[in-house]
Structures are given as structure tokens and as C-alpha cells.
Structure 1
Amino acid sequence: MLSKKERAEEDALVEEELQAMGPKGLLGMFSTKGAKKKPKLFLELSKAQQRVQGKNSLVLRQLDGDTMSDKLSTYKKTIRFHILAAHDEAITMVKELRGLRQDVNARDEKGRSALHFACRMGSEAAIATLIKEEGSVDEPDLEMRWTPLHYAVMGKHKYAAKLLLKYAPSPYVTVNRRDKIGTTPLMIAAAEGHASIVRFLLDSSADINDRDTYLISQGMTALHYAALTDQVKSVEVLLEYKAKVEIRTKASGETALELAERLGSHLVSVALFECK
């Protein structure tokens, strides 16, 4: 059990490092856009609020420690490790791991590991270190069930994605993992217009005609996602790799072309029409 002085020193260190991340802080970088009132980060809560919230957190309840204060101390060490991963501090991370002061797969209250943060920020040395130290390549977070590959794709980090698939136990499984609503990394890349990543994922055996399960029956493919967000470069790559243009969504029964025409996506409509 830590002494009061040790806890105070650790609290000060974590707060200083979070402050260095800017006004949003590391834990706020995936916050929901457009929220009227941004909820407080866990470490911004009072000690009493942390203890109350911690009792209802599956991740915190599973941490080592006899009391909630001990568990919170362990949690803060995890957050500090996540910050190191996001900042690509690979040497310090190795010292922490080899000294048995940190679990490589320790997660925050949203189920995110250091590898999630490293992939989101494109911290290549940290990613390589975490994988070498047996970090879980396929472990999803608890909120959206995003894997490290989902995070790498959202951050536009192709090399991070390459590292994950190079060392994944089963690259085919990793590249086709679904999130909470059935979205694959390919669908995200297509929707965001990351054409080079779309190409890389397809070259890595991503299922080009896989469907999501949004609202149980949406059934959109990567081509639908590209049409939905007016990403003509993504559409062109998907068509080059022979995406099936005749697939209809299960919810509205639209092809990607019909969806693009309804939304007024002119360039996407032209590309899809010309390939027919």
C-alpha cells in the first residue's frame, strides 16, 4: 500500500502529464463531438467521486489492491503508461515493463490499452515495443469495441496498421475484426477517405464486400460508406479492387449509386455509374 506522500507525488505527476497534453487531455481525445456539456475526465473527478465511479467500473474493480484507493493508485500508473505510449517513449516503457511495474495490457476505464493510444497517435516505436512485449493486437476497447487497428485507421497511420498486421497471430482475423456496430477497419478507412489505407487493407485480405450490422439490419459495405461520406478516391480504389456495386443495404434497399444520387454526391455517382 502506498504512503500518503507517495500517493501525493504520483497524483501530481499524472496531473502534470495530463496538463501537458493540452486542454482536452489525453483521455478526452476521443470525446463525442457536439456534446452540449463535456463530461469530466475520470482524473478530474474528486477522490470521493472516483471511488464511487470506480465501484461501478468493471476495469477498476479488477485491478490489484485491497481498497479502492489502492486500485485507483494502480489505475493512475496505467494512465501514465498510456501517456508514455502516446508520446512514443519506448525506452521508458521498456524499463517499466521489464521492471514488472506495469502490465502491458492494462486498460483504462473505457477498456483502452497502451496499444490503443499508441496506434491512435501513430507512435511507431511504442507500437513495436508493445507488440514485442506481448501486447494484445486484437483486444477491443469496452465502449465501441474498437481494436488497435481501428484506432490506427482512424488516425490515418498506415505504418502503424502495417506493424499490427505484420505481427498479428492471424492477420486475416485482425484486418476483418468488427466493432460494436459491425464496422470493419476497411469501412472506416473508406468513410474517412483514406484511400492509401483502403488499398493497403485490401492488399492485406480485408473483405471488400463485408456488411455492417448497424441497427441490426443496415447491411452497408465499404462502398456504401464511401458513397455516404462523398469520398470519391475511396470509391475509385474499391472499384479498382472489384467491389460489388449491385449490393443493396438491408435497411433502405439502396445500392451505393442510389445512395450517392439521393445524397447529391455527384463525383461519386459518376464514378459508380461509369463502372456499370
Structure 2
Amino acid sequence: MSMKKETPSDVQLHLAAIQGDVQLLGRVLDSGKVHVDSRDKDGMTPLILAAASGHVDCVVELLDQGADPKARRVTGTTALFFAAQGGFLDIVQILLDRGAPVDSSSMDGGTPLFVACQCGHMDVVKELVARGAKVNSHMKDRATPLFIASQNGHFKILLLLLAHGAVPDSRRTDGATPLWIAAQMGHDHVVRQLLKVGASVDAYRYDGATALFKASHKGHSSVVEELLKYQPSLGLLPNGESALHAAALFGHVPIVKRLISAGADLMLRNQDGVTPMQVAQEAKQYAVVEYLSSLLVERVNGTPHKPS
């Protein structure tokens, strides 16, 4: 795509679009000195700029003057992409009515639906889905709209996507599932919903860490609670560690207690032959060491342990 040098009129038109100055916009276009889709070095057209800035009247004026709703930036993003990202529902509707392609994606695979889910714009998500946006589209790294909604804890968007056929266990290239990322981020309500619709509790990322491992490592007690209802693996995971090792290493006493009361083996050795207590000792997590020692003493003395 050859870029002609920008003229003063091009610059003025772009400025008017960014600032939402519809009078100036009209004047520059009427001068006949500039093309309605004049591009800057990034391939930005006035329509893309006006949509990204949320200026409805400028968007309408540009479309009326023949601006191309399909025009893409150098990176592949369209006016609809930016309107969706900004949460400008009225502009999204106008662009779709004027023939903007609903699923036009950027070079990294991002669709308008994907960015609307990422930014939490429920009304835009609703509109795009109603207009036929593909719910299971994905980025180059295979992250889906459901994945990004889960990562950001957008619960209502998650429900909408699931209701429209979003696949719960779609995996990113690194193996991470929506459940995995929600657990890592501590979004317990998202975790609960994904488990309810059948997400695999022990799905793991390429490094062998499961959702329970990540939640135990990060100290997300409420997520651990949700996961434990679905019998996750408490033993050695493909990464050679257990969830209990993760909780011990990072000093999360409530999670250590909860995992043990759920049946985690406190004498379990990881791939290096080390127990959770030794892990805690090395990491100077003395509260964990103290708790585990008291359990061991009780076991030796044969007094029944009541989880406190």
C-alpha cells in the first residue's frame, strides 16, 4: 500500500476526526482537496479515527460522504474494531448498518467481539453476537472471546458467550483454558460457572500446572473452594509438584489447611523428593512449617486431627 505524503488538508481532516469537529470536517471535505479515506502512515482513515474517538456525528458525516467502513489500518484493524474497543454502541450499530464486516480481524486475529469482551462492554458484545459475530473465533495464540472474558472476570459477558455456544475448554496455544486463567486471576464466580458447564477441572498448561495449582500458588482461597467441589487432582501433577507444595511454598496457611482437609497428602514428595514441609522450610514460610509440624505430632500421638 503506497502512502502518499500527507498534505495540510489530510492533516486537517484527521485532526477534525479526532477532535470531533464536524464543521471543520465538512469544510475540508467540501474543499475537494482531500480524499474522504485519506490515510496516515499507519493506514488510519478519518473514519477509523472518528470511531476510535467516539464521535458519532463525524462517523455519520464521513459515511455519508462515502468513507469505506471496511477500511483497515496497517495492522488490519477497522473502525468497528475501535468502536467496539471503546464501547461506543451507537457507532458500532451505525457501522454495521453501513456494511462494516462484523468479524474483520487484525493481523494477530483480534476481532471486534474479542476486544469488546476484553474491555467489558456488555452492550457491544450483545450487539455483535446478535449481528452474527463468531463466538468461537480466536487470536493467533488461539485465545477466544470466552478466554479473555474469563481472564478479566467479566461474568455477565461470560454467561452471554456460553449461552451462544462458546466452547468452555478452548485452549490457548500454551494449553491454558478459560478455567485455568480465571483460577490464576482469582475470579471465583467465573471459575464456578465454567465448572458448572463442564470445564475440565484438571486441564493443565504446557508446564503441567492445573487451575488448582495456580490458585494455591496465588493464594486464591475462594477459587480453591470452588475447584475442590469437582475432585481436582491433589497428587503430583505433570509439572512434578502438587497444589499443596505450591501453597506451602508461598505461605498460604488457609489453603494448606483446606487442601489437607480435602485429602492432600502432607508427606507427598515432589519430583525432587521434597515434602511440602521441607519446601516451606526452605522458603522460610514458618507459619506453614508450624502448622504441618503440629499435624505430624498429632499423627504420632494418635490424637484425631480436627481441621481448625
Same structural fold, with TM-score higher than 0.5 when normalized by the shorter chain: yes
Query: In 2 relative to 1, CA 229–16 (structure 1 residues): closer, same or farther, beyond 3 Å?
Result: farther
Query: In 2 relative to 1, CA 274–10 (structure 1 residues): closer, same or farther, beyond 3 Å?
Result: farther
What is the CA-CA distance between 1:138 and the residue it aligns to?
A: 1.3
User: Any unmatched runs of 5+ in structure 2?
Assistant: 21-39, 44-67, 264-308
| 1:164-200 deviation line (CA, Å, top 9, x unaligned) | 11012xx4xx110111210001011111111111101
Query: In 2 relative to 1, CA 199–220 (structure 1 residues): closer, same or farther, beyond 3 Å?
Result: same
Q: What does residue 245 of structure 1 align with?
A: 234
Residue 14 of structure 1 contacts residue 80 of structure 1 at CA under 8 Å; is this kept in 2? Answer: no
1:1-276 equivalence runs, <5 A:
8=11, 11-12=14-15, 47=41, 50=42, 73-75=71-73, 78-100=77-99, 102-142=100-140, 144-168=141-165, 171=166, 174-213=167-206, 218-246=207-235, 248-251=236-239, 253-276=240-263
Quote the Cα distance in structure 2 between the aligned partners of 1:105 and 1:272. 44
Quote the Cα distance in structure 2 between the aligned partners of 1:123 and 1:132. 14
Which one has more relative contact order, counting CA pairs under 8 Å at least 6 apart?
Answer: 1
Query: In 2 relative to 1, CA 255–13 (structure 1 residues): closer, same or farther, beyond 3 Å?
Result: farther
| 1:113-137 deviation line (CA, Å, top 9, x unaligned) | 1111111121111111111111121
Residue 71 of structure 2 contacts residue 79 of structure 2 at CA under 8 Å; is this kept in 1? Answer: no
Higher-Rg structure is: 2
TM-score, with structure 1 as normaliser: 0.69
Residue 7 of structure 1 contacts residue 73 of structure 1 at CA under 8 Å; is this kept in 2? Answer: no
User: Any unmatched runs of 5+ in structure 1?
Assistant: 18-45, 52-69
Cα RMSD of the aligned pairs, angstroms, is 3.0
| 1:141-183 deviation line (CA, Å, top 9, x unaligned) | 12x3311111111221100011111012xx4xx1101112100
Query: In 2 relative to 1, CA 249–241 (structure 1 residues): closer, same or farther, beyond 3 Å?
Result: closer
Structure 1 counterpart of 2:183, which letter? Answer: A
What is the CA-CA distance between 1:244 and the residue it aligns to?
A: 2.5
Quote the Cα distance in structure 1 between the aligned partners of 2:249 and 2:13. 55
* Equivalent position SS for 2:95: helix
Quote the Cα distance in structure 1 between the aligned partners of 2:10 and 2:105. 20
* Equivalent position SS for 2:110: coil
Query: In 2 relative to 1, CA 15–109 (structure 1 residues): closer, same or farther, beyond 3 Å?
Result: farther
TM-score, with structure 2 as normaliser: 0.62
Quote the Cα distance in structure 1 between the aligned partners of 2:15 and 2:147. 32
Residue 117 of structure 2 contacts residue 149 of structure 2 at CA under 8 Å; is this kept in 1? Answer: yes
Structure 1 counterpart of 2:249, which letter? Answer: R
Structure 2 counterpart of 1:271, which letter? Answer: R
Quote the Cα distance in structure 1 between the aligned partners of 2:10 and 2:168. 41
| 1:200-237 deviation line (CA, Å, top 9, x unaligned) | 11111111121222xxxx22211111112111111011
